[in-house]
Amino acid sequence: MNHIFIVLVEFYPSWLAMTREERGERANELKEITLKYPEVQVRFFDAEALPGKDYTDIIICETNNIQKYHYMWEEIRDHSVYTEGHMKIKNVIMGMEEAYKKFEEDSLNSN
């Protein structure tokens, strides 16, 4: 079953205090982590200039493998962007694609 995670994150002023080159290097390191998990499709969206409360960016993750999604985030949380307090996960919204169809299929087959 396909799962989607909408991860709302906030980057703090300490992130913006870095040069654009430093931020680019660290962002590339984070992207390298995500590329280690091809089972998880990851897309990044900047939201700071748009209406939003308590978040500056949106990360959309789509996967059939929740374990790999979890492992990816474990690695991200070990990275200096997270451990040095430049970024924090503010909220995660999760959904399952057409889960009701799977429920109906399983329910009809079990009767």
Per-residue confidence of the chain (111 residues) as pLDDT tens digits? 899 999 999 999 999 999 999 999 999 999 999 999 999 999 999 998 887 778 999 999 999 999 999 999 999 999 999 999 999 999 999 999 988 888 888 887 766
CATH topology of domain 3-110: Alpha-Beta Plaits (3.30.70)
Predicted confidence at residue 70, as pLDDT, reads 98
Q: Kindly list the domain boundaries of the chain, sorted by start residue.
A: 3-110
Q: Residue 51: exposed, middle, or buried by beta-carbon count in 10 A (0-12, 13-18, 19+)?
A: exposed
Quote the tokens at residue 56. 């500056």
Question: Angle at Cα 67 formed by Cα 64 and Cα 71, nearest 5°?
Answer: 125
Predicted confidence at residue 80, as pLDDT, reads 96
Whether this model's pTM surpasses 0.75? yes
The Cα–Cα gap between 47 and 8 comes to 9
Predicted confidence at residue 111, as pLDDT, reads 60
Predicted confidence at residue 50, as pLDDT, reads 81
The Cα–Cα gap between 64 and 6 comes to 15
Predicted confidence at residue 8, as pLDDT, reads 96
Predicted confidence at residue 96, as pLDDT, reads 95
Predicted confidence at residue 16, as pLDDT, reads 93
